[in-house]
Each structure stands twice: as structure tokens, then as C-alpha cells.
Structure 1
Amino acid sequence: MSRDYKQFYAILKTTGMEKEEAVMIATEGRTESLRAMTDVEYSDMISKLQVQKSSGKSWAPKPGDMQRKKMISIARQMNWHLSTNRPIQDKGIQMIMYRLDGWCLAQKFKKSLMQHTEQELNVLVSIFEEKVFKSYLKDLNK
């Protein structure tokens, strides 16, 4: 399948979304790279963006988007993007998502990061900031 990236960026411009956001949504957090998308994911994403463009509705992030981004940012500060002998080879957002999903599954709600409600994410962000991140900072000072 030949991909028309010019068409993608033209449609994307009308939605007000960033490329990374659109790709992360289309791949359910697997990647933020257009080239890493499968042809099916890319085709579905283009179709959904075209429907959104023709309906005139502006894009709105999924509830809890800010909390997820905050957790990803904290995880990046803690170097969770670096490999820890896990099966994922890419040392970027995929590694962070893999590790955050593992952490979230170990918490009381037992769901991956993208499956949590906004209220659950508020609790998780608090725990992540107050316990995990503070513990990481404390260990750095030793």
C-alpha cells in the first residue's frame, strides 16, 4: 500500500491534532511513528480523520489524557524509556508504555494505562508522583 503522507498532514491540520497524538490513538499507544504503523492501522486512521473532518467536529482527547501524559512524562524523567532486558527493542514511548502498563496492572484497579477512567487515573497519578517518583528521587540522592 502506498501512503500519501501529504494527504495525512493536510487532513490532520484541519483537526488541530498533533501527528503523535493521532498515531498513538490509532495504534492504541503502541507507537507514535507513522512508519511503524501497519497498513491497516494507517488506513483506518485516515478514514477516521476524514470522517471527523467532514462532520466538522473538532477532535477532543480521551478523558484522562492529561493524566496519562503526566505519567508518561514522569516515567521518562525516571528513564523508563531505557531498555531493561524487556522484549521491546524500541527505547522510546513503547518501552514507557510497556512499563507503565505493567505498573498499572500491579495496582488495585488491575488495568492497563489506556483502560482507566479519569477518576482512576487521578488516583494512579497521585500514587505515581508521591510514591514511585519520590522513591526514585530519594534513591538518586543516596
Structure 2
Amino acid sequence: MNPKEYRFLKDWAYLGAEENALMQLDLIGTDIASGGMRATLRDLARFGEMMLNDGYYNGQKIIPKHIIREIKKGGNRKYLAESNHSHLSGFSYHNQWWVSHDQFGGYSARGKFDQRIYIAPKADTVIVKLSSYQFPSSKETNAFQAIIEYLEKQ
């Protein structure tokens, strides 16, 4: 790996991450924010848990609570409905997060190849999915909701 192509995320350690996360850089050394991050499933789950807990992980504040509150509000659903994201019916996009407006208050980080960190605050649940699909789908969101519904019945 060429060290000029990737930057280690030093702050990742605050989450108790087991592995370094990497960010891909553009030609002038700026992080590529739409598909250049690499991390393990377990460390992504830690990140999701921190989001679920309003920015705290292991009793340590990582992200201010007001930022998490702002993300959960979501954006204008009409704008997303009019975009080329027809597979995300009912969703909105706000502050780099996809907000599902579902019964669980769900919101997701979504990767370029349909990876997901799905946070469901009302169900106290985080689901992480790694994948390499070429095209995104809404099927996983429905599956996440079905998993949560099943677990709540147990």
C-alpha cells in the first residue's frame, strides 16, 4: 500500500477499535468521503453503538449529542424521492446519513457497494452489513426491520 494513498484514522482508537481504519485520499491528499473508508465489521459495529448512544462509547464522549440529534431529524423526503434513489422510498438524506423514518427511528451509513451501518434507536439495535454489491437495494432495510421485529418478540 502506498502511504500517500491512504491515511490511518487515529481517532478511531477512542472507540476501542481492534484494527486501524483507512481513508482513501485524492490526488492532493484529501480524504475521499464517498467510498474511501475501510474498516472491520466489529469496528464499524462499535461506531454504530457510539451513534446509538448519542455520541458516547465506553462512557467517553466521541461526538457531541446535538450532532446525533440533528442527524436523526432527517431531511426533506421529497428531495430524495425526486432523485435517482428510487430504491429508498420514504427515506431522506441529511448530514451524510440516510434516514429511513421507520418505526425504529432508523438511520444508516451506506457504503459505495451497499455496505451498511443501520442504527435503530427505538429498538436499541445496531446492524452492520458488509457487501460488494454493484447496485444498492432497499431489500436489506426491510430485512433489518424484520430481524428487529423477530428479536423483539423473543
Could you tell me the TM-score, scaled by structure 1's length? Answer: 0.26
Work out which structure has the larger RCO, using CA pairs closer than 8 Å and 6 or more positions apart in sequence. Answer: 1
Larger CA Rg, structure 1 vs 2: 1
> Whose strand proportion is higher, 1 or 2?
2
